[in-house]
């Protein structure tokens, strides 16, 4: 598999993990929210990759003009746009912007702000990406996917509902 990320500051193990996640989703459309472009469009034929640069001037309204996508890749948002805007960005992408979201955040603190913790992601409905813990202690990788967000309990089917034929 070709490494598709151009960011040299991400460890290669994290880059490979992101590549595999994108390949597993096989999205038709993908939005990349990062300080600089990360993905090589030529490596994904048939996938429309839209890059939205993150900077201090970033506004969420820029994303609301576009249609929802199959997968969103968000890289280092808290260190770029700040904690509050990152929370709003993740919530918007989860609710209306994308079917699946992959967040790759640095664990380092910047400008005196606390880094994102597990509870912050859990509060927004994200889960730690499987297999991501041993990849790098410097990065947190969390995901949200509407297809497996809520596992349907076994009791929630018509077998346990009232039997109208008995009335």
The per-residue pLDDT for range 21-50, each reduced to its tens digit, is 888 888 888 898 888 887 777 777 888 888
Compute the average pLDDT of residues 113-122. Answer: 80
Higher pLDDT, 104 or 15: 104
Residue 5 has pLDDT above 50, yes or no: no
- How much is the pTM? 0.81
Compute the average pLDDT of residues 64-69. Answer: 84
* Domains of the chain, CATH where assigned: 12-166 (3.40.50.150)
For 102-111, 123-132, 137-146, which range has the lowest pLDDT when averaged over its residues?
102-111
Higher pLDDT, 126 or 138: 126
Residue 166 has pLDDT above 70, yes or no: no
Task: Please classify residue 7 by burial: count the beta carbons closer than 10 Å to its beta carbon, then call 0-12 exposed, 13-18 middle and 19+ buried.
Answer: middle
Percent of the chain with pLDDT strictly greater than 70: 83
Partners of 105 in the beta sheet?
A: 140
Long-range pairs for 13-18: beta carbons < 8 A, 24 or more residues apart? 13/135, 13/136, 14/104, 14/132, 14/135, 14/136, 14/139, 14/141, 17/129, 17/131, 17/132, 17/135, 17/141, 18/73, 18/102, 18/104, 18/141
């Amino acid at each position: 598999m070709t490494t598709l990320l151009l960011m040299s500051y991400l460890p290669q193990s994290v880059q490979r993990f992101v590549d595999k996640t994108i390949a597993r989703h096989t999205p038709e459309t993908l939005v990349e929210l990062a300080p600089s472009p990360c993905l090589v469009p030529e490596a994904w034929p048939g996938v429309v990759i839209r890059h939205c640069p993150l900077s201090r001037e970033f506004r969420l309204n820029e994303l609301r003009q576009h249609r929802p996508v199959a997968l969103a890749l968000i890289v280092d948002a808290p260190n770029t746009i700040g904690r509050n805007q990152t929370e709003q960005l993740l919530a918007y992408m989860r609710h209306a912007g994308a079917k699946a979201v992959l967040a790759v955040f640095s664990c380092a603190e910047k400008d005196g702000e606390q880094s994102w913790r597990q509870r912050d992601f859990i509060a927004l409905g994200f889960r730690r990406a499987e297999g991501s813990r041993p990849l790098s202690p410097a990065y947190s990788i969390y995901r949200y996917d509407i297809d497996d967000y809520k596992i349907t309990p076994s009791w929630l089917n018509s077998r346990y509902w009232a039997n109208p034929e008995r009335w």
